[in-house]
Amino acid sequence: ANFNALYLTRHSFGHFFSASTTMRQFVDWLVFLHTHYSDVDWPVLKGELQKSNMKSFFDGYNIMLNRHLLLDIKLCPIVEMDNRTEEYIIDDIRHPNRYGRHPSQRIRRHLYQRFRYFFENRSKFKFISGRSWVRLLTESVISSLKDIVNRNI
**Number of other residues whose CB lies within 10 A of the CB of residue 79:** 21
Give the CA-trace dihedral at 119, 20, 22, 67, to 10 degrees.
Answer: 150
pTM flag (> 0.85)? no
Per-residue pLDDT of the chain (153 residues; tens, 9 = 90+): 989 999 999 888 877 765 667 788 888 988 998 899 899 999 999 999 988 888 888 888 888 888 888 778 788 777 887 677 777 777 777 766 544 444 556 677 777 777 777 777 677 666 655 677 788 778 877 876 776 676 654
- Residue 45: its pLDDT value, please? 92
pLDDT of residue 100: 46
pLDDT of residue 153: 47
Own/partner pairs, 50-58, CB within 8 angstroms, 24+ separation: 52/6, 52/10, 54/9, 54/10, 54/13, 56/82, 56/85, 57/9, 57/12, 57/13, 57/16, 57/85, 57/89, 58/9
